[in-house]
A and B are shown apart, each in its own frame.
Chain A
Amino acid sequence: MTFFLQLIVTGLAQGMVYALIAIGFVIILKCSEVFNIAQGHFVLIGGYLGWTFLVPFHLPIWAALLASIGVAVVMGLLIERLMLRPLIGQPVLAVVMMTIALATVLGGLATLLWGAEYKAYHGLLPTINMTLGAISVPSESLIGLMVSVVCVALLMLIFKYTKIGLAMRATAEDLQVVQSVGIKATTVYAFSWIIACVVGVIGGILLGGVSGANMELANIGLKAFAVVLLGGVNSIGGAIVAGVILGMLENVAAGYLDPLLPGGGLAQVFPFFVMIIVLVFRPHGLFGLASIERV
């Protein structure tokens, strides 16, 4: 029982980070109908940015966070303006290939700037230790939970009470109507990319603070897709719930089944099995809207 609970708690920590990354994906998808394969690479850049500002620059944690967010904002603006805006109205494949190309360019930049090396900076993030009975709740799980909750709350406030948030929600609803009342869709797109970059970078700093920054961080993005599909591609709440579910399931499955399998590594491939099952049986996910095609 302790083993099971430990797996659940570890899964919760991972799940919250998956959810945070998935939210960035969902926001871009809702506002601009772009499927952003490069979301995992924002996490990668975030992990390395965290190291850069904390270790060589010796910034305090709040300043490092602000600086990273600043870089993320610039990155989001540039990506939207240079890569995605020329492709407005192009078919799905062109847009998806663009984000894949973006992912490889970001991966290449990370290799160039940080040498694809393992950069550790644990101990620099604040730690909170807590034990529940026999199981210890890892500090990263608590911090991940708190940061995710704060981020989601902030996003909800932005969506609810700011003009740009309202414009974003409206764009998600109906692009043509939005344009006819004079809201600039390109501004909304730019803002959604900024949010996605910021969310990804924060996720990267969280993960980097736990396990160090390395090129593996980008693979988290692929797992986040399973989260997005399970939760429903256009539901932010769904992304959070699905993130937690998937994080737990992955850990429980790996904990109990890995000893039985010769090759192991079930945790790496588990999200893809979930993906296939969801796609076959419930393509719109748990909380997504089922799309109906009309002629």
Chain B
Amino acid sequence: MGGRTGTFHENYTQDMALFGSGLHRGAIALLFIALFAGPFFLSDRMLTILTTMGIAVISVHGLNILTGYCGQISIGHSGFMAVGGYTSAILCAHLGWPFWAALPCAALAAGLAGLLFGLPSLKIKGFYLIMATIAAQFIIIWIIIQLRSLTGGTDGLLVPKATLGGITLNSKENYYYLVMVMVVLATISAQNIVRTRAGRAFIAIRDNELAAEVMGVRLWSYKLQAFFIGCIYAGAAGSLLVHYVRFASIEQFPFMDSVWYLGMLIVGGMGSITGAIMGVVALKVLDELVTVAGPILAAAVAPQAAASLALISHGVVIIIFLIYEPRGLYHTWEMIKIYFQVWPFSHQQTD
């Protein structure tokens, strides 16, 4: 392998470059081509899987900024997605807004909800914050049920077909392209947010709150910013999900999804944009394996085996990662890369 055995950045521009080497750029270009060409050779089922994966990636990017970078743990992310999804659904179904206008409003609404439920984070942290966000999830869903005239309560709400620039997004291919464009935008913006002043402040808060405050990082401002940004991603993802299914219901935003989003971060690797994508792909692939293996197991063992397999497999995967690779798949990937770069030596040359 002709990889370089070290970091040879000579100036600031090189150090800040998103795509380091030619190999890296080539790989990204190949990925884009593969994503673009996907609908030409993939089946409908594969497109559906990729689209839901893309929506999850957008949501998990938000959670990654909030939890992975800023260290504010949230197990209410699915609730914030519900805020975005329902805002978008109400604007389109009741007021007849176009999709392109409803999407940013949905993101904004979710962001504001995130600000509101992020307020306790100024006083509490760790487990207490987890509890506050769990409470947020249940309270949001309850409020949605209460506002029956707007949201349809437990019956759900039909959402009209989304149109964008004269194109009706009624086929799987159309929507796949929309979601993939959004995923690319979300990934680039997330990667850039964590490189800004705010992003560095988030990392400082995560690593040591007290030290960050002493250094002059305004905790309240940056914590609320993290909640706002993280929930904006959730709102956009919720809006995309609702328009994809063309129906908004509370079953689309269950509490367990909030848990799985956090699980995806752990499996992929917290505080890494690539890691977030890896985690989503890994757990969604596991989902599909369970969907395939479930009926076989149900026929062989017991009818309820399929349902329990989903729960047990996800739980066990998260347990294994927590014990054996707490830094996630991204860390494993880095280790593999370094192994090949420095081969036949066992260590990287450092100066």
Interface positions of A (Cβ within 8 A of B)? 35, 83, 86-87, 90, 92-94, 96-98, 100-105, 107-109, 111-112, 115-116, 222, 225, 229, 233, 261-263, 265, 268-269, 272-273, 275-276, 279-280, 283, 293, 295
Q: Is the CB of B120 within 8 A of A279?
A: yes
14 inter-chain pairs at a CB distance below 8 angstroms, sorted by A residue, are A83-B323, A92-B126, A103-B315, A105-B319, A108-B307, A108-B310, A111-B308, A225-B134, A229-B131, A262-B148, A263-B148, A276-B120, A276-B135, A279-B132
Residue B146 lies at the interface, judged by CB distance under 8 Å to chain A:
yes
Residue B142 lies at the interface, judged by CB distance under 8 Å to chain A:
yes
Q: Is the CB of A86 within 8 A of B315?
A: no
Candidates A94, A261, A280; contact of B146 at CB < 8 Å: A261
Q: How far is the CA of A225 from the CA of B131 in the complex (A)?
A: 8
Residue B338 lies at the interface, judged by CB distance under 8 Å to chain A:
no
Q: How far is the CA of A167 from the CA of B348 in the complex (A)?
A: 47
Residue B326 lies at the interface, judged by CB distance under 8 Å to chain A:
yes
Candidates B138, B266, B302; contact of A97 at CB < 8 Å: B266
- Name which residue of chain B comes closest to A228, CB basis: B131
Residue B193 lies at the interface, judged by CB distance under 8 Å to chain A:
no
Residue B215 lies at the interface, judged by CB distance under 8 Å to chain A:
no
Known: A94-B322, A97-B318, A293-B210. A269 touches B308 (CB 8 A): no
Q: How far is the CA of A283 from the CA of B263 in the complex (A)?
A: 27
Chain B contact surface mostly: helix
Residue B316 lies at the interface, judged by CB distance under 8 Å to chain A:
yes
Interface positions of B (Cβ within 8 A of A)? 67, 73, 75, 119-120, 123-124, 126-128, 130-132, 134-136, 138-139, 142, 145-146, 148, 153-154, 210, 256, 259, 262-263, 266, 270, 302-305, 307-312, 314-316, 318-319, 322-323, 326
Q: How far is the CB of A189 from chain B (nearest CB, A)?
A: 16
3 A-B pairs with the lowest CB-CB distances in the bound complex, closest first:
A108-B311, A108-B312, A105-B315
- Name which residue of chain B comes closest to A295, CB basis: B210
Contact residues in B for A263 (Cβ distance below 8 Å): 142, 145-146, 148, 153-154
Q: Is the CB of A96 within 8 A of B127?
A: yes
- Name which residue of chain A comes closest to B151, CB basis: A263
Q: How far is the CA of A44 from the CA of B130 in the complex (A)?
A: 22
Known: A104-B311, A265-B145, A283-B124. A116 touches B67 (CB 8 A): no
13 other A-B residue contacts (CB within 8 Å) besides A97-B262, A109-B312? A87-B322, A93-B67, A100-B259, A101-B322, A104-B311, A105-B312, A111-B308, A112-B305, A262-B148, A263-B142, A276-B132, A279-B124, A279-B135
Candidates A105, A115, A261, A268; contact of B311 at CB < 8 Å: A105
Q: How far is the CA of A295 from the CA of B211 in the complex (A)?
A: 9
Candidates B120, B308, B309; contact of A280 at CB < 8 Å: B120
Contact residues in B for A279 (Cβ distance below 8 Å): 120, 123-124, 128, 131-132, 135
Q: How far is the CA of A276 from the CA of B262 in the complex (A)?
A: 21
Known: A93-B73, A283-B128. A102 touches B315 (CB 8 A): yes
Q: How far is the CA of A95 from the CA of B262 in the complex (A)?
A: 13
Q: How far is the CA of A42 from the CA of B127 in the complex (A)?
A: 20
Q: How far is the CA of A233 from the CA of B127 in the complex (A)?
A: 10
Q: How far is the CA of A111 from the CA of B134 in the complex (A)?
A: 24
Q: How far is the CA of A103 from the CA of B134 in the complex (A)?
A: 15
Q: How far is the CB of B196 from chain A (nearest CB, A)?
A: 24
Q: Is the CB of A112 within 8 A of B302?
A: yes
Q: Is the CB of A90 within 8 A of B326?
A: yes
Known: A272-B139, A276-B132. A105 touches B316 (CB 8 A): yes
- Name which residue of chain A comes closest to B144, CB basis: A263
- Name which residue of chain A comes closest to B68, CB basis: A93
Q: How far is the CB of B19 from chain A (nearest CB, A)?
A: 30
Q: Is the CB of B130 within 8 A of A35?
A: yes
Known: A262-B148, A263-B153, A265-B145. A101 touches B263 (CB 8 A): yes
Q: How far is the CA of A94 from the CA of B120 in the complex (A)?
A: 21
Q: How far is the CB of A119 from chain B (nearest CB, A)?
A: 13
Contact residues in B for A86 (Cβ distance below 8 Å): 323
Q: Is the CB of A115 within 8 A of B302?
A: yes
Q: Is the CB of A115 within 8 A of B304?
A: yes
Q: Is the CB of A104 within 8 A of B315?
A: yes
Q: How far is the CA of A267 from the CA of B251 in the complex (A)?
A: 20
- Name which residue of chain B comes closest to A115, CB basis: B304
- Name which residue of chain B comes closest to A261, CB basis: B146
Known: A100-B259, A112-B305, A262-B153. A272 touches B135 (CB 8 A): yes
Q: How far is the CA of A272 from the CA of B135 in the complex (A)?
A: 5
Q: How far is the CA of A97 from the CA of B326 in the complex (A)?
A: 11
Q: Which residue among B270, B302, B311 has the maximum number of chain A CB atoms within 10 Å of its CB? A: B311
Q: Is the CB of B148 within 8 A of A94?
A: no
Q: How far is the CA of A83 from the CA of B154 in the complex (A)?
A: 38
Q: Is the CB of A280 within 8 A of B123?
A: yes
- Name which residue of chain A comes closest to B67, CB basis: A93
Contact residues in B for A262 (Cβ distance below 8 Å): 146, 148, 153
Candidates B142, B305, B326; contact of A269 at CB < 8 Å: B142
Contact residues in B for A102 (Cβ distance below 8 Å): 315, 319
Contact residues in B for A276 (Cβ distance below 8 Å): 120, 132, 135-136, 139
Candidates A87, A273, A283; contact of B123 at CB < 8 Å: A283
Q: Which residue among B131, B262, B302, B305 has the maximum number of chain A CB atoms within 10 Å of its CB? A: B131
